[in-house]
């Protein structure tokens, strides 16, 4: 995930926010003056940076840490990222939390 701070010089007192992108999809934003991201229910596809200026946020607090070899990141059906621990047979998705089983574990552990 990429974090970009907008630096566009707007007329008046328009605030610039920080945007969290997964490729070209806008996943969340952080309002100016706050630190908590607001995640969209569905990513906004094809976020355009046209006519605006951005700088990357470094170090990026939203980057995905490197996972152990038995932990696999998987994409959920609505754009979320979950982790499956193949040695434990667990997943971080809501389905696994609710039922104790999910398609991610079934596909990766039984494969």
- Convert the pLDDT of each residue in 70-106 to its tens digit: 788 887 877 788 888 888 888 888 888 889 888 888 8
Higher pLDDT, 4 or 82: 4
In a domain, 89, yes or no: yes
Residue 19 is predicted with a pLDDT of: 93
Q: For residues 77 and 50, state if they share a domain.
A: no
In sequence order, the β-bridge partners of residue 5 are: 18, 55
Whether 48 is covered by a domain: the verdict is: yes
15 and 46 assigned to the same domain: yes
Please check whether residue 47 is in contact with residue 25, taking contact to mean a CB–CB distance below 8 angstroms. yes
Give residue 7's domain range: 2-56
Per the structure, the count of domains in the chain is 2
Q: What is the pTM of this model?
A: 0.56
Quick check: is 6 in a domain? yes
In a domain, 62, yes or no: no
Is residue 75 situated within a structural domain?
yes
- pLDDT above 90 covers a percentage of the chain that reads 20
More confidently predicted of 111 and 100: 100
Q: Which two tokens stand for residue 78?
A: 């609505």
């Amino acid at each position: 995930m990429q974090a970009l701070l907008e630096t566009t010089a707007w007329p008046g007192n328009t605030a610039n926010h920080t945007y969290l992108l997964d490729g070209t999809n806008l996943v969340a934003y952080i309002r100016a003056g706050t630190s908590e991201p607001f995640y969209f229910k569905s990513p906004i596809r094809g976020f355009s940076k046209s006519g605006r200026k951005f700088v990357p946020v470094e170090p990026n607090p939203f980057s995905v840490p490197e996972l152990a070899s038995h932990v696999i990141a998987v994409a959920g059906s609505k754009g979320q990222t979950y982790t499956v621990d193949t040695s434990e047979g667990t997943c971080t998705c809501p389905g696994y939390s609710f039922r104790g089983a999910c398609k991610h574990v079934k596909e990766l552990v039984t494969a």
